[in-house]
Amino acid sequence: MKHLEGLNAAQRQAVEHGIRDGDASQAGPLLVIAGAGSGKTTTLASRVAHLVVNGADPGRILLLTFSRRAASEMARRVIRMVPREARPVTWSGTFHGIGARLLRIYAQRIGLNDGFTIHDREDAADLLNLVRHDLGLSDKATRFPQKATCLTIYSHAVNSGLPLGQVLERHFPWCSQHEEALRRLFDGYVAAKQSQNVLDYDDLLLYWAEMMRSEGVAEDVRLRFDHVLVDEYQDTNPLQASILLGLKPDGQGLTAVGDDAQAIYGFRAATVRNILDLPQQFTPPAAVVTLTQSYRSTQPILAASNAVIAMARERFTKDLVSERVSAQKPRLVTVPDDIQQAVYVAERVLALREEGVALKQQAVLFRTSHHSSLVELELARRNIPFVKFGGLRFLEAAHVKDIVSVLRWASNPRDKVVAFRVLQLFPGIGPQTAARAFDRVTDGAHPFAALAIYRPPAAALAVWPAFIDLLQDLSGSAAAWPAELERVKEWFQPFFEARYPDAQVRAGDIDQLVAIGGQYRSREQFLTELALDPPEATSDEAGPPLLDEDYLILSTIHSAKGQEWTAVYVLNAVDGCIPSDMATGRSEDIEEERRLLYVAMTRAKDTLDLLVPQKFYVHQQSRNGDRHLYASRTRFIPPAMLDRFEAATWPVRRRQDAVAAGSGANVDLKARLGGMWKART
DNA sequence: CGTTTAGTCGTTTTT
DNA sequence: CGACTAAACG
């Protein structure tokens, strides 16, 4: 059978576990420990195909993946393997996405209004801020944590299932003194969300988990799915685990895939205990299959990666092995500073492209989003197209958010956060006036009726009627989707130009938003998807590259999860960046940073360059002039490990003429600088 | 009451 | 540097 071809013994065991000829209904729980590049996606997709071929109903398979990208990749592969007559897997997506979908279906039965809207992180923080203000927690000089910090604390408590006091003590000790106030704040926040008919990200999981605890509804949800498959299980948190166990209490039909060596979402309350403890949740325990054969990286790259992860305090998976021979060790490239680092990357990228490695096959990875800014500048200067993943998203741009807020307010008149954002677009309307106008909005068939007779401040008087017209159109079914998006855009135009001095630059984003909106069936679907899976921004001045164009990938290490490239460059392999100096406090945090480096390194198929700038310029702390900091190689590559790498220094010290650009210069990159990184054996 | 300005503080990773 | 707040100003 086609979907079983080319699998190795372990993969095949995972694919076939519990499935007999024509009978997929007796598949007991299965845990697959899949090392980096071990064909995890293939195995998972093949298992889905195998289930379907043996009688499972694709409409009753639930596929939980870590990102939308992973979900569509999986769907693509399954469709390729499964015979044509089979229907596609219709329940596939992230925990949050599936949660939203199920809650919409069961809303009535769990006392939720099915017209709920979803708050993203920023909205949630804004609402928290409103509540904080109402509770009088903002004007104290007690250095109360900021809204974003409050939300992080709240979210961590919800996702970990731990009591607030413990969360504070363990992760936010500097906020412990505010425990009581935070408790009041969170209490008010929950009440506000409920009365405004909004759910935040955590609610999508929390309500789902609660739903699985209510007999009756829980049973109905369980009966929907014969098989549940979860990817990247090492990065799930206790709340997600409780959902999973609620769906499959006895483990029948459950498959989880993951790799504890790649757990990098501890900050989101993910815990490797989920994956380690999974087998014992069931009687008999879940079968465990381990995939250790890597098909991705060359042997030298794997050897170096294995050495890095070997020093982890705790390890559960075995070393990966590879049959891809190569004489080329990963390079550890010392560059003078972060500016030269950017130059090096640009030159190497171009040189490799000359050798036939497309830009799309190359990726620059970094710990935090702003680490790439100098590289972005250098790429733009040389007209090298790129797309950046992670970091600031397109949707978070204020002007995009403005337009979306109008739509969201029309969909959910009670949503105070978006109402405030929209109302304060008007001249002369600030928080106070906005609050008064918002108070007039009612429940019922014509929630905005009272706004029509409301008299705004003089400055806003002239433009008010047009706004009333707009709300009218949006509330009724006058303008069909996506025509109403265009309608909002036109209405917004004058505000836009008045508000943003750089409106010209930003106009492109709005056109893009309209284009994206056109791809969705309805406003509700658009808004939901937008909140859960916002399109990524591109920082390229030339605008978003066309899909068939070649472009370089820039990505945070977190966003690079599950992906692979022929050539990988890891920026700032220095202490303070990897590990981040924010994470050097507790040893668990350090361990997560080590795994992060491991994840970055194991993305590479053929070539891997780790960059070590010796100093970098910081604009943060210095008041006058640019100061710089000296950095040292990351602690995760101690001297004894250097023999796994080829040491290089760039630019090669030479006479002045060596600086000439072009591919010729790149040959010199391999030159070693005597003694400095002397390998020990 | 809204807007502007000056001053302070903290600073990651993402659904 | 940029996000956020508090105080001054209109």
Q: Are residues A405 and A519 in the same domain?
A: yes
The gap between A561 CA and B13 C1' (Å) is 12
With a CB cutoff of 8 Å and minimum separation 6, the contacts of A121 are A151, A201
Cβ of residue A135 lies below 7 Å from strand C: no
Cβ of residue A139 lies below 7 Å from strand C: yes
Cβ of residue A508 lies below 7 Å from strand B: no
Residue A633 main-chain phi, psi, to 5 deg = -50, 145
pLDDT, residue A334, reads: 94
Cβ of residue A324 lies below 7 Å from strand B: no
* Residue found by looking up tokens 């680092």 in the block: A341
A244 lies in a domain? yes
Show the tokens assigned to A676: 């400095």
Contacts 24+ apart (CB under 8 A), A465-473: A466/A491, A467/A426, A467/A491, A470/A406, A471/A410, A472/A448
Q: Are residues A345 and A475 in the same domain?
A: no
Instruction: Determine the distance from the C-alpha atom of residue A168 to the mean position of all C-alpha atoms in its chain, rounded to a whole number.
Output: 24
Cβ of residue A311 lies below 7 Å from strand C: no
pLDDT, residue A478, reads: 59
Residue ending a domain, among A291, A322, A350, is A291
Q: Are residues A212 and A134 in the same domain?
A: no
Write out which nucleotides of chain C lie closer than 7 A to a protein Cβ. 1, 4-6
Cβ of residue A662 lies below 7 Å from strand B: no
The gap between A398 CA and C10 C1' (Å) is 27
The gap between A90 CA and B11 C1' (Å) is 42
C-alpha angle A463-A464-A470 in degrees, rounded to nearest 5: 100
Residue A171 to residues A24, A174, A588: CA-CA distances in angstroms?
44, 9, 11
Please give residues of chain A from 352 to 391 whose alpha-adjacent beta carbon (CB) lies under 7 Å from any atom of strand B.
Answer: 367-370, 389-391
Cβ of residue A29 lies below 7 Å from strand B: no
* Residue found by looking up tokens 């050897």 in the block: A303
Cis peptide before A651 (omega within 30 of 0): yes
With a CB cutoff of 8 Å and minimum separation 6, the contacts of A504 are none
Tell me the sheet residues that pair with A608.
A568
Cα–Cα distance for residue pair A661/A550, rounded to 1 Å:
22
Cis peptide before A579 (omega within 30 of 0): yes
The gap between A426 CA and B8 C1' (Å) is 29
Nucleotide nearest to A265 (CA to C1'): B13
pLDDT, residue A677, reads: 32
How many domains in chain A?
4
Cα–Cα distance for residue pair A469/A476, rounded to 1 Å:
11
Q: Are residues A470 and A361 in the same domain?
A: no
Residue ending a domain, among A255, A275, A291, is A291
Cβ of residue A371 lies below 7 Å from strand C: no
Burial A284-320, CB ≥16 within 10 A → b, else e: eebbebbbbbbbbbbbbbbbbbbbbbeebeeeebebb
A109 lies in a domain? no
CATH assignment of the domain containing A385: 3.40.50.300
A679 lies in a domain? no
Nearest to A36 by CA among A563, A555, A570, A389: A563
The gap between A199 CA and C7 C1' (Å) is 36
Residue ending a domain, among A468, A500, A532, is A532
The gap between A423 CA and B5 C1' (Å) is 23
Q: Are residues A590 and A633 in the same domain?
A: yes
The gap between A430 CA and B3 C1' (Å) is 9
* Residue found by looking up tokens 């010392």 in the block: A334
Nearest to A131 by CA among A420, A404, A395: A420
Q: Are residues A184 and A226 in the same domain?
A: no
Nucleotide nearest to A152 (CA to C1'): B14
Residue A617 main-chain phi, psi, to 5 deg = -85, 130
Please give residues of chain A from 142 to 181 whose alpha-adjacent beta carbon (CB) lies under 7 Å from any atom of strand C.
Answer: 146-148
> Residue A657 sits in which domain range?
299-392+545-673
Residue type, A379: L
Cβ of residue A622 lies below 7 Å from strand C: no
With a CB cutoff of 8 Å and minimum separation 6, the contacts of A588 are A266
With a CB cutoff of 8 Å and minimum separation 6, the contacts of A607 are A328, A330, A331, A352, A566, A567, A568
Nucleotide nearest to A95 (CA to C1'): B15
Cα–Cα distance for residue pair A31/A177, rounded to 1 Å:
42
Burial A57-67, CB ≥16 within 10 A → b, else e: ebebbbbbbbb
The gap between A438 CA and B5 C1' (Å) is 29
A680 lies in a domain? no
The gap between A193 CA and B11 C1' (Å) is 29
A113 lies in a domain? no
A540 lies in a domain? no
Q: Are residues A346 and A442 in the same domain?
A: no
In sequence order, what DSSP letters do the residues of A63-90 get, joined into one string? EE-SSHHHHHHHHHHHHHHS-TTSPPP-
pLDDT, residue A592, reads: 93
Residue A486 main-chain phi, psi, to 5 deg = -60, -40
What strands lie across the sheet with A61-64, from one edge to the other? A91-93, A61-64, A227-230, A254-258, A30-34, A287-291
Q: Are residues A154 and A175 in the same domain?
A: yes
Nearest to A566 by CA among A526, A615, A606, A527: A606
Cis peptide before A482 (omega within 30 of 0): yes
Q: Are residues A416 and A509 in the same domain?
A: yes
Of the CA atoms within 13 Å of residue A467, those in its CB half-sphere come to: 25
Q: Are residues A139 and A179 in the same domain?
A: yes
Count of CB atoms situated within 10 Å of the CB of A341: 26
The gap between A457 CA and C10 C1' (Å) is 16
Q: Are residues A220 and A191 in the same domain?
A: no
Q: Are residues A428 and A472 in the same domain?
A: yes
Cβ of residue A138 lies below 7 Å from strand C: yes
Backbone φ/ψ region at A235: left (φ over 0), alpha (ψ -120 to 50), beta: alpha
Instruction: With a cut of 50, list the residues of chain A below it in pLDDT.
Output: 537-546, 620-625, 657-681
Encode A241-259 in three state secondary structure.
HHHHHHHCCCCCCEEEEEC
CATH assignment of the domain containing A472: 1.10.486
Q: Which residue is nearest to nucleotide B1 (CA to C1')?
A: A432
The gap between A137 CA and B6 C1' (Å) is 23
- Binning chain A into helix, strand and coil, the percentages to the nearest 5 are 50, 15, 35
Q: Which residue is nearest to nucleotide B8 (CA to C1')?
A: A143
Of how many residues is chain A composed? 681
Nucleotide nearest to A460 (CA to C1'): B2
pLDDT, residue A681, reads: 25
A678 lies in a domain? no
Q: Which residue is nearest to nucleotide C4 (CA to C1')?
A: A146
Write out which nucleotides of chain B lie closer than 7 A to a protein Cβ. 1-3, 9-15
